[in-house]
Amino acid sequence: MAADMDEFWVFGYGSLMWNPGFRFEEKLTARAFGYRRSLCVRSWVHRGTERHPGLVLGLDYGGSCIGTAFRVAPAQKAEVIDYLRERELVTHVYKERTMPVQLSSGQRVPALTYVIDRSHVQYAGALSAEEAAATVAVATGKSGPNSEYVLNTLEHLREMGIRDHWLEEVAAKLTAGGAESLRA
């Protein structure tokens, strides 16, 4: 199936899935190929500070990522792009890209998304679950505790039927007494 050229889609893979912050007409599960969800961004604003960075998700190279595609009304396109740029490009750790995603219906559509800039100083690279959990456990930014972000994202992934084993391992270290030992 070909996409309607007038359609505008946004692909979310982290907090955008459960907190888009913009109006949309349709919301579907979608998969982006060539990128994976990764807790690889040092957050200096929303979930940490420059002095005590947290970690948030980025799309990093390799694999595929199941997330959410939002269809936005053509009249709202400019407003949504402005909003997303203000939200996602605060420190320019992400690159704005339009990439094909496959909707749960099987249709492929171009979608606006944000991928990690591996050359940016905030790129954390591949961390062990223990290293990630230790960082997340103590970080807080203007949008709240970093642990809240990780646990909310994981909860929403589960509600969508999406398993992210590595993120689950990070969360397990944050809960059930794990956070206290990480802060020590």
Supply the pLDDT for residue 90.
85
Give 103's strand partners: 30
Angle between helices 129-138 and 146-159 (to 10 degrees): 120
pLDDT for 179: 46
Q: Which CATH superfamily is domain 8-178 in?
A: Gamma-glutamyl cyclotransferase-like (3.10.490.10)
pLDDT by residue for the chain (184 residues), tens digit each? 445 567 999 999 998 998 999 999 999 999 999 999 999 999 998 899 999 999 999 999 999 999 999 999 999 999 999 999 999 998 899 999 999 999 999 999 999 999 999 999 999 998 999 999 999 999 999 999 999 999 999 999 999 899 999 999 999 999 855 444 444 4
Is the distance from CB of 142 to CB of 6 less than 8 angstroms? Answer: no
The domain segmentation of the chain, as residue ranges, is 8-178
- Say how far apart CA 144 and CA 42 lie, in whole Å: 15
Tell me which residue of 75, 78, 88 sits closest to 20, measured CA to CA: 88
What pLDDT is attached to residue 30? 97
What pTM was estimated for this model as a whole? 0.86
Task: Please tell me the predicted confidence (pLDDT) of residue 6.
Answer: 76
Which residues on neighbouring strands pair with residue 8, listed in sequence order? 72
Q: Which tokens is 162 given?
A: 């999406």
119-157 confidence digits (pLDDT tens): 999 999 989 999 999 999 999 999 999 999 999 999 999
